[in-house]
Amino acid sequence: MAPLITLTTDFGTSDAYVASMKGVILNINPQVTIVDISHAVEPQNALQAAYIISTTHSYFPKGTIHVVVVDPGVGSQRKLVILETPSALFLAPDNGVLSYIIREIEPASNPTTDSAAGPQQIQLPKRAKAIAITNPRYWQQTVSTTFHGRDILAPVAAYLSLGTPIGELGEKLNSVNVFSLPQPYHDSKGNLCGQIIHTDHFGNLITNLKGTDLPEGKFVIEIGNQKILGLSQYYSQKNGLVAIIDSNDYLEIALKDGSAAALLGSKVGDKLILREE
């Protein structure tokens, strides 16, 4: 099977940025397969990219190389890293964009401060390896200060797809930067509280509550000024707002034939409460 490289960026598709990266990769390894995960990440929104790659990478074959370029710090002293996990390789700026991947490996690896404070450095989980990409031998001959996705990450991914050991590409790291990811909690009244972590293309609100977090009995979900009674099995099961467990096992708030985000005026970071009946 040909090696696989995926691309996740905030570049959009109206410019030539993504095509330039693909051209660099294919010049080095014409046999590689390149898959676009998304180029519609909001500009500079590393936390959104972190969520998107976390819900996608496990569906690819073992050993896939995932390149994530959401890099508001491009040209600065921030590091570019390769993260090696038991299932894949991830290339990205060390700016928190791999936060969910790190937490999958080690659930306890979560800073205590709010994600709005920005990413913080933590010790690398034992089941992962990381290097800082520092060997210019594997970069483009000329490196722009504004496009490291094309000039560093793309060629390094291509060389990895040819079997280059990651140890040749840079220096070992013992720590990486991650965001503090919001965790469900119970308030003083015992109600389960969650938070919106993503709004998808349809205006569905994905929360940080998993199916296993929910109470077994009847409950009401309060979000904004709306209440939703229990769970639905699918989007069109009833009119108005519905709560379902989505394909990634997150509790999701949706609106039949509409946008829950627009109706509620909700955004990432907003809270919801589950009250048992």
Nearest CA among 7, 46, 27, 29 for reference residue 163: 29
Say what the pLDDT of residue 112 is.
Answer: 63
**Domain 4-178 indexed as CATH 3.40.50.10790:** yes
> Does residue 277 surpass a pLDDT of 90?
no
Residue with tokens 């109600």: 191
Cα of 24 vs its chain's centroid, Å = 24
Average the pLDDT over 176-196 and give the result: 93
Residue with tokens 């009401």: 220
At 222-253, the pLDDT tens digits run 998 899 998 988 888 888 999 999 999 999 99
What size, in residues, is the chain?
A: 277
Say what the pLDDT of residue 85 is.
Answer: 95
Q: Strand 4-9 relative to strand 64-69: parallel, antiparallel, unpaired?
A: parallel
Tokens representing 132 are 């800082």
Above pLDDT 90, what percent of the chain?
81
Say what the pLDDT of residue 240 is.
Answer: 92
Task: Give me the sign of the Cα torsion angle 255, 259, 261, 262.
Answer: negative
At 113-172, the pLDDT tens digits run 666 668 888 899 888 999 999 999 999 999 999 999 999 999 999 999 999 999 999 999
- Angle at Cα 274 formed by Cα 272 and Cα 275, nearest 5°? 135
Kindly report the pTM of this predicted structure. Answer: 0.92
> Does residue 221 surpass a pLDDT of 80?
yes
At 249-266, the pLDDT tens digits run 999 999 999 999 999 999
Give CA–CA dist 172/130, Å, rounded: 6
As assigned by CATH, the class of the 185-276 domain is mainly beta
DSSP state of 58: G
Give CA–CA dist 242/236, Å, rounded: 8
Amino acid at 103: R
Say what the pLDDT of residue 138 is.
Answer: 98
At 63-93, the pLDDT tens digits run 999 999 999 999 888 999 999 999 999 999 9
Nearest CA among 186, 257, 269, 181 for reference residue 223: 269
At 192-203, the pLDDT tens digits run 999 999 999 999
Say what the pLDDT of residue 217 is.
Answer: 84
| Beta pairing partners, 210 | 250
Which residues fall within 8 angstroms of residue 267, CB to CB, at 6 or more apart?
196, 199, 261
Average the pLDDT over 177-186 and give the result: 92
The domain limits of the chain are 4-178, 185-276
Which residues fall within 8 angstroms of residue 60, CB to CB, at 6 or more apart?
4, 6, 35, 66, 88
Say what the pLDDT of residue 41 is.
Answer: 96
Give CA–CA dist 36/191, Å, rounded: 40
